[in-house]
Amino acid sequence: MEHQARGGKHKILDECSLPLTGVKCVDKIITEMAVLEIRDEGLVMTEIWPEFTVDEVKAATGCKIIVSTDLINMQQI
């Protein structure tokens, strides 16, 4: 998915503002910027596209991100 909505609005937030159709049914978010895993401790960035910095991904996200100590670069397939 795209990391941000048009106009730079955050799509990844602490809390959903829309009616829920499922609860806790997503455990991973993959965007053009990064791979984010939803874990008990929070949203963990495990992979990043080399074109972006950690700070850019954090700024594009509407909630706190924990950067994995094993952060790797995403590979183009």
pLDDT band at 40 (very low <50, low <70, confident <90, very high): very high
Question: Alpha carbon of 28 to those of 7, 14, 34: distances in Å?
Answer: 24, 15, 10
Model pLDDT, residue 69: 96
Tell me, rounded to whole angstroms, the distance of Cα 55 from its chain centroid: 12
Query: What CA–CA distance (Å, rounded) separates 14 from 58?
Result: 13
Among 38, 32, 26, smallest CA distance to 76 is for: 32
Q: Where are the domains of the chain?
A: 6-73
Query: What CA–CA distance (Å, rounded) separates 47 from 71?
Result: 5
Q: Could you give the dihedral angle defined by the CA atoms of residues 65, 66, 68 and 73, in that order, rounded to the nearest 10 degrees?
A: 20
Residue 76: pLDDT above 80?
no
pTM over 0.95: no
